[in-house]
Amino acid sequence: MKGMMMHRPLKIADLITFAADTYPDGEIVSVRTEGDIHRTTYRETAGRVARLAHGLRGLGVGDGDRIATLAWNGYRHFELYYAVSGIGAVCHTINPRLSAEQMIYIVNHAQDRLLFADLTFVPALEKLRPHFPADLRIVIMTDRAHMPETTLEGVLCYEDILDGQPAEIDWPDFPEDRAAGLCYTSGTTGNPKGTLYSHRSTVLHALGMCVTIPQALKEGSRILPVVPLFHVNAWGLPYGAPLSGASLIFPGAALDGSSLFELMDREKVFSAWGVPTVWMGLMNEIRQRGRLPEGFGDIVVGGSAASRALIEAFETEGVNVCHAWGMTEMSPLGTQCNLPPAMADLPLDRRVDRKQSQGRRVFGVELKLVDDAGKRLPHDGATPGHLYVRGNTVTSGYYEDPDATAPVFDAEGWFCTGDIATIDPDGFLAVTDRSKDLIKSGGEWISSLDLENIVMSHPGVASCAVIAVPDVKWEERPLLIVQAREDAQPQKEEILGLLQDRVARWQVPDDVVFVEALPMTATGKVSKLMLRQQYAEDSA
């Protein structure tokens, strides 16, 4: 027997119309590439989104067309999120930190029709344009007064597209499984792989966020997305914030500790979301100034594992740390580690112990652990296994890439994350390493993540990485690579001594290498792939 309720498709455009009706004065504050601060509301934004949608139709954008963006976090980028998907096209966000080779591959693989770019990226596009599809049109995201001189032919001005268009629109109806967004992985192995989100998956992800992280996602809250709009939907904030009534404070291109502190202090940001390297910079600024930004009380940290030292530093200052985990292929949120009330009043040490884990799953995401043979493992908090996921916000395959799709799904249709993890009886996930980052020495496994967390507790260490290097006797041995803080000179002996007090002697790295900077991926993580390549050659 079927139920007798109406069935209305879940659509992304309904989120911004809901915000305009219910939270009309919710703010979007943006640091613009033009150099000033722009302020608007959800009601005003809904009108501009409608005008942009009409303008896109006028340019011939149709169902399923891929519309690319190459832009920082700002109100125009936000408008594209809604206008593009709202008319049935696909918003394809491109990470500008990718290599030229990867960017060329992505634009051609997606067959983008339009590319919207911030002023910052015009010089790069002048070099890349000959390698893009011949019929691709480029739009500069500014007004007529700030249009740059450029060798790009036929460029359009963003504000000209909106000029004269109606501020209202009847959003078209279409099935909720219509494609809405496209985001490519950074392609650390092989070509980048595309994840194609639907309206249904995006709306469900936003609903799940609001239920799971209510201390930040609520009416009147002010949230700073340092996580970029060009990377995996800015962790869902462009959708979750309007749905919950939270205001968005967009930082533009300046993501250093000082710039973030000034913006957060001025705008009274409560919650800020981003990767660990960003928060290390902000914590340094907080210590130099001797205070928190006004109103600041919460961070969501993900993208790579947060060290114990980082979590403890913010918790000691009275800032709640929500350690989260997810993937591009998961929209991206999979788990979050806000503690339940029974754990919220634990002593600091025990609270940080818990918050080092990636937390409990969000609604709609299922987790399982399996051994090398695919046999299910217990959720006992002690047995590590390969982590698999499934759910309404998890990809069912890579866009136009069957060769990349086949190896990452098991016979039951679960997606292999590539992580090694444990899950305890209370449902807390702890990612112990990436499967490719585990070190097998003399037949025994060593977790690079465990060693890195210990080393990061040293006050003189800014960042570090542990990688495997070939060894004649033991097959592989761990090598520790350290980036020291600018005002410190940590010594090899004291760092190794720190490890010897905490882990078995055979797990301690054979050597410590000090570097001025660690190589980073396009998504702000330490690139262990580059380190392995470099030091494997040195070892050989």
Residues with catalytic annotation? 185, 329, 440, 445
Q: What is the largest CA-CA distance in the chain?
A: 73
Q: Output the CA angle 219-225-226, nearest 5 degrees.
A: 160
Instruction: Fill in the DSSP letter of residue 376.
Output: B
Q: Which residues share a beta bridge with 468?
A: 478
User: How far, in Å, CA of 295 to CA of 270, rounded?
Assistant: 5
Please report, for residues 46, 277, 291, the alpha-carbon distance to residue 518 in angstroms, rounded to integers and kept in the order given: 42, 11, 29
Please identify which residue in the block is written with the tokens 């205070």.
291
User: How far, in Å, CA of 295 to CA of 357, rounded?
Assistant: 26
Q: Which residues share a beta bridge with 73?
A: 252
Q: Is 311 helix (H, G, I), strand (E, B) or coil?
A: helix
Q: Which two tokens stand for residue 393?
A: 């916000």
Asked if 89 and 61 touch (Cβ cutoff 8 Å), the reply is yes
Q: Which two tokens stand for residue 388?
A: 């698999």
Please report, for residues 94, 158, 198, 529, the alpha-carbon distance to residue 189 in angstroms, rounded to integers and kept in the order given: 18, 35, 26, 9
- The DSSP element (H or E) to which 157 belongs, if any, is strand 156-157
CA 107 to centroid of chain Cα atoms? 20
75-86 helix and 237-244 helix, angle to the nearest 10 degrees: 90
Please identify which residue in the block is written with the tokens 């690139």.
527
Q: Which residues of 357-383 are buried (b: 16+ CB within 10 A; e: fewer)?
A: bbbbbbebbebbbbeeeeeebebeeee
